[in-house]
Structures are given as structure tokens and as C-alpha cells.
């Protein structure tokens, strides 16, 4: 639609004998599309389409001039008769326009890609240069096949089949390029904001800092120094000290990320995994990258059900992880063995999570309340939910209780150790077998969060559980309704909750 509008405006200007102002044509196309549907402004495709085209309009000529200047600088020391000789020189001259266009179209899209997908491509421009001729060959075939289909569907279909082969080749080349080592790098939103701020500061200094006796090299060095300082300092200045709980929306499963007041991360459960969906790779890793995480201190696997351990291998592959804690009662399922093998391959420590153990997490006391050794040794206890790890995190006057899928019986065993709660992670996705009224009357949590899929076949969360929570005046947040839930306890003990929906 953007291309059609631009071509229509171009044709109208030519018919009237008027010169075309590219910025005006692009702005007109943008406004016309937004008049049709203002909601398109939030579309990632819409943003990337106009950003890439704006790059071609405004940046192609400056980039081409810079490339020509670079080429002249590189060949300036060669004798005149050798500067334009050789296959390399011919290839560079012939590809300079395509390279300039590729760089110009790519640069404005990089911040958008980093913001929406937490990655920027390193191979995008060279891959585009290689693939562009195939795309250029396919475009006429697409147009002609559409035209032919108006008169003869078989003829149009025949030509479209040949064009389809070219497009399959393009798809295969893109897929291959994306799997190359270092094809893309992770960029958190904090790093993106600080990077843009640093670049803006450097640009402003270069434009306005012009003391008479200071030459261009010194001005550039000063601008680069200030830009780098902002890139480094902005994330530090924007970091708020506090304890955070992030309930990541992984569908029907649990994945809780805890950020300590010192900025370190711990995970409690890692969501589900199936043949088509890995919560670790698809949800948890991107989420942690967006938050600026570079390592995970510990992963607590409350029990070996797939909806709680499925994403662990993907997390171990992406982050350095110091250790894993679980009930230490071996389970013969393939997913559990996969986690064990991944931990061994990455050299990750494995610790038993049993009652009485505790550790300090940047001033946060983390206590394991369940299971106890007696429960672990019970021979008839076959349901892993009965062994679910229950964690209590205490920081100042605030407390967080994470119950995994522990049933009401397990809750009763630890009832005497539970103080008034700031946050409760509701047990077993809101099943009526957990989150007993006894627990709620003792703990009186300020807020509760439920990890639950939309839809799910279990009827979670159960109406009885939500009624119990309402009865004690607890504010309830659910991933099926609210998406990702971020709960921050400030140094003053205040609770602030934000959701992605």
C-alpha cells in the first residue's frame, strides 16, 4: 500500500509536470495511510516499511558520498593508472550504489528492530547485497503472473510457479544467513535508549562545539567521549534499587524472575515446552535480555513437571548460570533428564532444595520451607506436586512466598513460618487444591500473581481460589489477562505493579 501510494503520487506529479519532493511524497503516503487506519502506527511492519524507505530517501546520497570518499582515500596512494584497474575495483564500483542503498535502508530500522525484537542483525546488509538480484528477478515475474491470471489462470499459475522457485531460493538464503555464527546480537531496551542518547549527544557536540583553535580530530574525540560516557552512565543512573518479581507470561506454566536490589537475577521455574513451543527460547530469554540481564545466579525448579522445567535447557544455552536447585528426588522423565544433561554440559552446579536451607541474595534472605527430608524419603509419595519447593524471600519488612504447585497439605506444614506477605505466587496456577483459606488468613498478601494460560483446559484459576483471595482483600494479577506482570518493592516497602497488557 505504501509503494502503491508513492507510485501514484509520483505519477500524478509527472502528469502535472511538477518536480517531486521525496520527503513530501513519503509524508503524504504516511498521512493517507494513517487516515485510513490510525492503528497501523503501532504495527511493526508499518514502522519498518516507512523507516527503511525514509532511509533510502534521506541517507542514500550521504552514505554514497562517504563510500566514494573512503574508496578515494584507500586508492589515493596507488598510481593513477592502477586505481581503476582490476576485478576488485570493478566490483567495488559496481556494488557501491547497492551497498549505499542497503546501509541507508538498514540504519533507520535498527533501533526499531532492537526495541521490538531485542536483536540487531550483523549479516543483514551483506545478505541483502547477495539476495537482491534474485528478488529483482522475481518481482517482474510476480507482476506478470498476476496480470496473466486476469486472462488465463493456468498461464498465470504456470509463471507463478517459476517465480515461486526464486522466492524459495530467497527464503533459503535468508534462513541460512540467520544461522551463521554472530548473525545477530542481543540489545536490551536500556542499552538501546542509552546508545541513542549517547549518539545524539555526540552529534550535538559535533554540530555546536566549534572553538576556534580546536581542530576536527579533537572535536570528534570529545564528542565520542561524551557519547560513550552517556552510554555507560545512563543505565547506571536509571537503575532503581529495590526487589522485583517478574511473572513472565509463558502460557499454562510458571516462570518467575527475581531481580535482587543489586541487579542480579534468579529464576523460579522456566515454563513449558512442546514440539512447537519452548518457553525458555521464545519468552524467558528475550524477556531477560530486554531487562538487561547478562547472567542468572540460580534457577530453582520447584518440581519436575514439564510446565515448570521445559525452558531450562534454552536458558542454560543462552546465559551463564551458577547453579540449579530442585527437590533432589530423581525423576525418570525425558525432559528432566534433558535438563540434567544440559546442566552437566554447561558445568552448572546442582544443589538440593530442602527445608532449612537459606542463602543471602544481595540483602534478600531466601529460605526454603518445603520439602523437608522426611517428605522426600516417603516411599508412597509419587506426585511431584507434593514435593514442590516452597520459597520465602524476606527483605526488610516485605516478604514474597513462591509455592510452585504445592497442595494445601504442604501449605499447612509451613504455615507457622509464614509472615504477613507483600506478594504471593498462587499455587498450582489457581487450582482449588492449593492456596487454602488457612494460608490466606495467616499471610494476608497485599497482591497475588497467577501464572495461567489463555485458554487452558483445567479451568484455572478456579473461582473458589479467586473468591478466597477477594475475601482477604488481595489484589490479583493473572498472566492470561494481564500478560507479563512486574512487581517492584521499593526501599520504603511500597509495592508498584506494572503489566504488559
pLDDT tens digits for range 207-222: 766 555 556 677 677 7
Same domain, 144 and 255: no
Asked if residue 426 has pLDDT above 90, the reply is: yes
Looking at residue 87, its pLDDT comes to 44
Domain finish residue from 218, 238, 258: 238
DSSP 273: B
d(CA 86, CA 79): 13
- The pair phi, psi for residue 370, each rounded to 5°, is -160, 145
Shared-domain flag, residues 209 and 128: no
pLDDT at 71: 73
| 3-state SS, residue 426 | coil
The reply to whether 219 and 251 lie within a common domain is no
pLDDT (0 to 100) of residue 443: 95
User: What pLDDT is attached to residue 2?
Assistant: 87
Cell numbers representing residue 458 in the block: 483445567
Nearest-angstrom CA–CA distance, 173 and 129: 12
Query: Is a pLDDT exceeding 60 seen at residue 248?
Result: yes
> Is the pLDDT reported for residue 444 higher than 70?
yes
pLDDT band at 370 (very low <50, low <70, confident <90, very high): very high
Sheet holding 242-247, edge to edge: 349-352, 321-326, 296-300, 265-268, 256-259, 242-247, 485-490, 495-499
Single residue among 185, 204, 222 that ends a domain in this structure: 185
Where residue 364 falls among pLDDT bands split at 50, 70, 90?
very high
> Regarding predicted confidence, which is higher, 442 or 70?
442
Is 485's pLDDT higher than 70?
Answer: yes
Sheet arrangement for strand 398-402: 358-361, 364-370, 390-395, 398-402, 423-425, 447-450, 475-478
Domain end: 185, 207, 224, which one?
A: 185
pLDDT mean over 38-55: 91
CA distance 327 to 23: 63
197 lies in the same domain as 261: no
Q: Report residue 140 as a C-alpha cell.
A: 517482474
* Highest mean pLDDT of the ranges 133-137, 228-232, 421-425: 421-425
Which of 90-94, 385-389, 451-455, 471-475 bottoms out in mean pLDDT, i.e. has the lowest?
90-94
Whether 288 and 263 have beta carbons less than 8 Å apart is answered as: no
Beta carbons of 303 and 387 less than 8 angstroms apart:
yes
User: How is residue 45 written as a grid cell?
Assistant: 511492519
The pLDDT value recorded for residue 192 is: 81
Is the model's pLDDT at 237 over the cut of 70?
no
* Candidate from 89-103, 124-138, 256-270 with smallest mean pLDDT: 89-103
Element (H, E) at 71: helix 44-75
**The total number of structural domains that make up the chain:** 3
Measuring CA to CA, how many Å separate 439 from each of 302, 406, 407, 409, 469? 19, 12, 11, 11, 10
Mark whether 335 and 224 lie in a shared domain: no
Question: Is it the case that residue 83 has pLDDT exceeding 60?
Answer: no
Q: What mean pLDDT comes out for the span 236-246?
A: 76
Q: What is the predicted pLDDT for the residue at 214?
A: 58
**Spatial distance between the Cα atoms of 121 and 131, rounded to a whole number of angstroms:** 15
Q: Which residues contact 32 (CB under 8 A, 6 or more apart)?
A: 5
Tell me the average pLDDT across 37-47.
91
Would the pLDDT of 461 be above 90? Answer: yes
Are 120 and 222 in a shared domain? Answer: no
Measured over the CA atoms of residue 434, residue 439, residue 440 and residue 445, the dihedral's sign is negative
For residues 283 and 432, membership in a common domain is answered with yes
pLDDT the model gives residue 16: 87
What domain range includes position 342?
A: 242-499
Strand boundaries in 296-425, DSSP class E: 296-300, 321-326, 349-352, 358-361, 364-370, 390-395, 398-402, 423-425
Neighbours of 429 (CB within 10 A): 24
Mean pLDDT of the chain: 86
Most confident region among 120-134, 153-167, 377-391 by mean pLDDT:
153-167
* Section 6-19 average pLDDT: 87
Among the ranges 10-19, 39-48, 93-102, which has the highest mean pLDDT value? 39-48
For residues 115 and 226, membership in a common domain is answered with no
Position 3 pLDDT exceeds 80? yes
Please tell me whether residues 246 and 234 are part of one structural domain.
no
* Buried b or exposed e, range 250-276, using 16+ CB within 10 angstroms: bbbbbbbbbbbbebbbbbbbbbbbeee
Q: Is the pLDDT of residue 74 over 80?
A: no
Angstrom distance (rounded) from CA 325 to CA 318: 19
∠ CA 152-157-158, rounded to 5°: 100
Whether residue 461 sits in one domain with residue 446: yes
The pLDDT assigned to 82 comes to 53
Judge residue 199's burial from the number of C-beta atoms within 10 Å of its C-beta, 0-12 exposed, 13-18 middle, 19 or more buried.
middle
Q: What is the pTM of this model?
A: 0.72
Q: What number is the average pLDDT over the span 114-125?
A: 84
For the record, the C-alpha cell of 353 comes out as 532444595
Do 109 and 136 fall into the same domain?
yes
Residue 91 has a pLDDT of 47
Average pLDDT over residues 373-391: 80
Beta strand pairing call for 358-361 and 349-352: unpaired
For residues 150 and 206, state if they share a domain.
Answer: no
pLDDT at 323: 94
Distance of alpha carbon 472 from the chain centroid: 36
Do 395 and 367 touch, CB atoms closer than 8 A?
Answer: no
- Tell me: pLDDT of 345 over 70: yes
Burial of residue 237 (CB within 10 Å: 0-12, 13-18, 19+) is exposed
List the CATH number of the domain containing 273.
3.60.15.10
Question: Is pLDDT larger for residue 18 or for residue 205?
Answer: 18
Confidence of residue 270 (pLDDT cuts 50, 70, 90): very high
Q: Is 309 exposed, middle or buried (0-12, 13-18, 19+ CB in 10 A)?
A: buried
Amino acid at each position: 500500500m505504501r509503494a502503491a501510494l508513492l507510485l501514484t503520487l509520483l505519477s500524478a506529479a509527472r502528469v502535472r509536470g511538477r518536480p517531486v519532493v521525496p520527503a513530501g511524497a513519503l509524508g503524504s503516503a504516511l498521512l493517507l495511510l494513517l487516515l485510513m487506519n490510525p492503528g497501523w502506527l503501532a504495527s511493526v511492519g508499518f514502522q519498518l516499511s516507512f523507516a527503511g524507505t525514509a532511509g533510502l530517501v534521506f541517507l542514500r546520497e550521504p552514505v554514497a558520498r562517504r563510500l566514494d570518499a573512503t574508496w578515494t582515500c584507500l586508492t589515493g596512494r596507488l598510481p593513477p593508472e592502477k586505481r581503476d584497474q582490476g576485478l576488485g575495483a570493478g566490483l567495488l564500483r559496481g556494488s557501491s550504489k547497492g551497498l549505499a542503498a542497503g546501509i541507508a535502508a538498514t540504519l533507520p530500522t535498527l533501533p526499531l528492530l532492537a526495541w521490538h525484537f531485542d536483536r540487531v542483525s550483523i549479516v543483514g546488509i551483506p545478505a541483502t547485497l547477495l539476495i537482491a538480484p534474485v528478488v529483482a528477478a522475481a518481482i517482474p515475474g510476480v507482476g506478470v503472473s498476476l496480470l496473466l491470471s486476469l486472462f488465463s489462470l493456468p498461464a498465470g499459475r504456470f509463471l507463478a510457479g517459476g517465480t515461486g522457485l526464486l522466492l524459495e531460493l530467497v527464503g533459503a538464503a535468508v534462513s541460512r544467513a540467520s544461522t551463521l555464527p554472530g548473525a545477530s546480537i542481543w540489545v536490551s531496551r536500556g542499552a538501546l535508549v542509552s546508545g541513542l542518547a549517547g549518539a545524539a549527544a555526540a552529534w550535538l557536540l559535533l554540530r555546536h562545539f566549534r572553538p576556534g583553535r580546536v581542530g576536527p580530530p579533537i572535536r570528534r574525540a570529545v564528542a565520542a567521549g561524551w557519547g560513550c560516557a552517556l552510554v555507560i552512565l545512563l543505565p547506571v543512573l536509571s537503575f532503581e534499587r529495590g526487589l522485583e518479581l517478574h511473572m513472565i507470561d509463558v502460557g499454562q506454566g510458571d516462570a518467575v524472575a527475581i531481580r535482587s536490589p543489586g541487579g542480579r537475577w534468579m529464576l523460579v521455574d522456566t515454563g513449558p515446552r512442546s514440539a512447537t513451543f519452548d518457553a525458555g527460547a521464545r519468552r524467558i530469554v528475550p524477556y531477560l535480555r530486554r531487562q538487561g540481564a547478562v547472567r542468572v545466579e540460580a534457577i530453582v525448579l520447584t518440581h519436575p513437571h514439564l510446565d515448570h522445567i521445559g525452558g531450562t535447557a534454552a536458558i542454560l544455552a543462552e546465559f551463564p548460570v551458577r547453579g540449579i536447585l530442585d527437590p533432589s528426588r530423581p525423576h525418570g522423565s525425558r525432559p528432566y533428564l534433558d535438563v540434567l544433561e544440559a546442566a552437566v554440559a554447561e558445568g552448572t552446579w546442582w544443589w538440593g532444595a530442602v527445608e532449612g536451607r537459606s542463602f543471602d541474595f544481595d540483602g534478600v534472605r531466601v529460605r526454603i520451607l518445603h520439602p523437608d527430608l522426611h517428605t522426600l524419603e516417603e516411599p508412597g509419595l509419587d506426585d511431584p506436586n507434593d514435593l514442590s519447593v516452597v520459597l520465602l524471600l524476606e527483605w526488610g519488612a516485605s516478604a514474597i512466598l513462591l509455592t510452585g504447585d504445592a497442595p494445601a497439605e504442604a501449605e499447612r506444614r509451613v504455615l507457622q513460618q509464614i509472615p504477613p506477605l507483600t506478594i504471593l505466587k498462587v499455587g498450582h496456577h489457581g487450582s482449588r487444591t492449593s492456596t487454602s483459606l488457612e494460608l490466606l488468613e495467616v499471610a494476608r498478601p497485599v497482591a497475588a500473581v497467577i501464572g495461567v494460560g489463555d485458554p487452558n483446559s483445567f479451568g484455572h484459576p478456579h473461582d473458589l481460589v479467586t473468591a478466597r483471595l477477594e475475601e482477604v482483600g488481595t489484589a490479583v494479577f493473572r498472566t492470561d489477562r494481564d500478560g507479563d506482570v512486574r512487581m517492584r518493592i521499593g526501599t520504603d516497602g511500597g509495592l508498584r505493579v506494572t503489566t504488559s497488557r
